[in-house]
Chain A
Amino acid sequence: MIVARALIPGTLAFIAAAALAPALPAWLISLATVAFSNALVVLGLIILWRAGLVPFGQALFYAVGAYAVALIGRYTPVRDAFALIAAGALLACLVAFLVGFLLARYREIFFSMLSLAMSMILYGALVKTETLGSTDGFGVEPPTYLGYAPEGAMQHLVLFWVVLAFGAAAALLVFFYFRSIAGALAVPVRDSEIRLEFLGVSVNRLVHLNLMIAGTLAGIGGALAALAIEHVDPNMAYWTTSGGFVFVTILAGAGTIAGSFIGSFVFELLKSVAYDLLPGTWQIFLGAALLVTILFLPEGLGSLFVRLRRASPQSKGAAP
């Protein structure tokens, strides 16, 4: 009952976004497509954030997902979007599994910097490798969807729906993950690893699992972003991209799942507006927005919903 009720607003929001899409202007659709692709990365960041881990190199998995899609499109005849996204997700998951053996042993700033270093290794490799497009990157072939190849404006609309579907599925899975023992133990990891170990939990294994989930989500996000932007380049692995995800996580707040979607959307919107108004100095605008968020909404945009929910009397007694 309580579980079902908690899911209603999110479900309605996704249905509304899907239904309204054909009536919306093209620029808004393409902005939202990129924003919601990135929201998957932010969702993964929130999972780590709850355990007190802030990765400054999540772009590693984002770029792996994106390049997987682009490279398969370039070197093989596979064009199916779902197969491409699955490949991006699997490859990112595998990379997360491998780097996880090292990363899962570190905490706090050491974790953040090591994660940054990992992503910069990939950046360096991409920049120096001619066959991977070097600094310019390369274009992404238009995908088909289970044999259906949309034309013209439909291309963007279909991709938007696909991104929405992946977003909804990821949000739902993460929602249930947070309610599971493994998912709910994130906060205890931050509070007392010793107690967890003495209760019989391997904290490193738990962090490793969270890294793999976050990495897979970032891989899917990168794959979708590659299809949306129709181009990949090494900047997708660069630290400023990772920094952008951390920015959105602060903007969104780590407390809610909805926050990652709204935060990503607001971030892309802010970026476009800022770019229009102040083409040379748009970062100032973003910086000011971050400052305002930290000062007035320290728990992010998502905390607005939590406040709304607390204000309504029926939420009393709900399981935390």
Chain B
Amino acid sequence: MSAILAVHDLQKSFGSVIAAHDINVAVPALQTVGIIGANGAGKTTFVNMVTGHLRPSAGTIAFDGRDITGLPSRAISRLGIARSFQMPQIFSSLTVQENMCAATAIAHAGDGLLQQVVTPLYARRTLAESEAALELFRIAGYCRNTAATLPQGVRKLLDIAMAVAGAPRVLLLDEPTSGISIEEKFSLMDVVMAALKDRCITVLFVEHDMDIVERYADRVLAFYDGAVIADGPPRETLENTRIQELISGPKLKATTAGAGHA
């Protein structure tokens, strides 16, 4: 089994605080991996290191056999690892269509500044491809709306659609359903996962809702205190009592503390 993303002994410390340590993960192509863990367990730190937003203190990250440890985020994204954000990073003063066109055009133009200066943004191919992407993510109906005025669910979808514009092979979703009402969560994930399957993308997603993880993930990585404490198929991993205790631990403690006071 050759892994498209292989992380070896990854570690990140901020001064004396160790945010992540001893992370060893190999993700085969086309797998969908759910990343769970309490707040501060190191999930986002892991995502930030893989996408180049944070430089690991030690360890290596290999993408498709190539060492990408310490590369800047824009280089990593050009290689084929994209990400979405917990707080959608979209261009709020542009319309949905303009947002999508910008992302698509950047993907077409490549890295050369000169290329970016001489290529018109709204080329026919760009318009067609961005329209197709908006259809795929079911937000074409909003194409003339200014991004700042969009409902949260549409913002999330646009953020993901823009991340996918560069035809990445791996996509990391940081809490795709945060800020979304429970009724909407599944329909949003249905749209996202169908679209990503359509584009043959390997997905790693950070998620707090265990029902979502169980439904969409092929595999679960559980983070606790900066390390991966469990790695396996969703049902078994989520049923493991120790994991349950560690992931939802703070809640349990809160109840006991409350009981003690009473």
- A residues apposed to B, CB below 8 Å: 176-177, 179-185, 187-188, 190-192, 194-202, 205-206, 209, 319-320
Contact = CB atoms under 8 A, between A and B. Distances in A.
A198 B117 contact: no
Interface stretch (B24-32, B72-80, B195-203, B218-226): B72-80
A180 B118 CA distance: 6
Interface string B9-50: 000000000000000000000000000000000000000000
Nearest to A183: B117
Contact of B121 (A181, A197, A198, A205): A181
Interface of B: 51, 72-75, 77-78, 82-83, 85, 89-95, 98, 102-103, 105-107, 109, 111, 113, 115-122, 159, 162-163, 165-166
B102 A184 contact: yes
A100 B159 CA distance: 31
A202 B52 CA distance: 14
Contacts of A319: 122
A179 B93 contact: no
13 contacts: A179-B122, A180-B117, A181-B116, A181-B120, A182-B116, A182-B117, A183-B121, A195-B85, A197-B72, A197-B77, A200-B74, A200-B166, A206-B113
A137 B241 CA distance: 83
Contact of A181 (B75, B85, B106, B162): B106
B250 to A, nearest CB: 29
Nearest to B97: A320
A319 to B, nearest CB: 4
Given A191-B93, A192-B91, A195-B162, A201 B106 contact: yes
Contact of A194 (B75, B82, B89, B115): B89
B92 A191 contact: yes
A198 B109 contact: no
A93 B89 CA distance: 33
Contact of B109 (A181, A191, A194, A202): A181
Given A180-B117, A199-B166, A320 B73 contact: no
Which of A187, A195, A202 counts the most chain B CB atoms within 10 A?
A195
Contacts of B116: 180-182, 185, 201
Given A180-B121, A198-B77, A198-B89, 12 more contacts: A180-B116, A180-B119, A181-B106, A181-B116, A183-B121, A184-B102, A192-B92, A195-B85, A198-B74, A199-B166, A200-B106, A320-B95
Nearest to A176: B120
A199 B91 contact: no
A176 B117 CA distance: 9
Given A181-B116, A182-B116, A187 B91 contact: yes
B164 to A, nearest CB: 11
Contacts of A183: 117, 121
Of all A-B residue pairs in the complex, the 8 with the closest CB atoms, nearest first, are A195-B89, A182-B116, A191-B91, A184-B121, A181-B116, A200-B78, A319-B122, A188-B91
Nearest to B118: A180
A96 to B, nearest CB: 15
A234 B39 CA distance: 58
Contact of A199 (B77, B85, B117, B120): B77
Contacts of B74: 197-202
Contacts of A180: 116-121
B85 A194 contact: yes
Contacts of A198: 51, 73-74, 77, 82-83, 89, 163
A206 B106 CA distance: 13
Contacts of A188: 91, 94, 102
B51 to A, nearest CB: 7
Given A181-B119, A188-B102, A319-B122, A199 B94 contact: no
B91 A182 contact: no
Contacts of B83: 198
Contacts of B106: 181, 185, 196, 199-201
B219 to A, nearest CB: 25
A195 B163 CA distance: 8
A179 B85 contact: no
Contacts of A187: 91, 93-94
B44 to A, nearest CB: 14
A18 B147 CA distance: 43
Contacts of A206: 113
Contacts of A181: 102, 105-106, 109, 115-117, 119-121
A255 to B, nearest CB: 12
Contacts of A201: 74, 106, 116
Nearest to B105: A181
